[in-house]
């Protein structure tokens, strides 16, 4: 199901988006967010900066630029939080704006060896803790 940009939380930059995540920065062709729900410490999302429904809709150049942004964010996450692995999720059944979920996984952490949960609703931080995480990520971007 393709979404309408007028109903897209990334395009509209609406309250739903702001309740779910905090925008960190804009990169070459994407926006970077920190999830407020932090079961997977350091979890981020990278959204393409214009409304496209799927990766295959991009030109090779656009795709390469987007994936370079995704890689840049995962490198920063790796340096900032030292996870064992970062899981990538490109789920868009109900919201087809191109985006990647980036979920750091830790050996003794939740769901290690399995699929990360979209929104476990368990771990929320203080504003100061979110700000500290964002600064760590920005330091390495």
Sorted by where each begins, the domain ranges of the chain are 5-140
Q: Which residues contact 67 (CB under 8 A, 6 or more apart)?
A: none
- Write the pLDDT tens digit of every residue in 67-107: 999 999 999 999 999 999 999 999 877 778 999 999 999 99
Which CATH number is 5-140's, of 3.40.190.10, 1.10.443.10, 3.40.50.800, 3.30.428.10?
Answer: 3.30.428.10
Distances (CA, A) of 87 to 20, 23, 115: 19, 20, 8
pTM equals 0.94
């Amino acid at each position: 199901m393709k979404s309408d940009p007028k109903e897209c939380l990334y395009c509209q930059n609406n309250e739903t988006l702001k309740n779910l995540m905090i925008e960190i920065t804009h990169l070459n062709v994407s926006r970077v967010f920190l999830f407020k729900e932090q079961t997977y410490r350091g979890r981020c999302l990278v959204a393409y900066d214009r409304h496209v429904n799927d990766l295959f809709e991009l030109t090779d150049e656009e795709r390469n630029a987007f994936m370079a942004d995704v890689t840049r964010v995962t490198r920063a996450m790796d340096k900032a939080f030292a996870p064992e692995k970062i899981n990538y999720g490109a789920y868009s059944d109900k919201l087809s704006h191109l985006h990647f979920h980036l979920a750091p996984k830790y050996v003794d952490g939740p769901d290690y060896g399995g699929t990360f949960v979209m929104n476990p609703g368990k771990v929320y931080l203080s504003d100061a803790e979110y700000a500290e995480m964002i600064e760590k990520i920005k330091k390495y971007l």
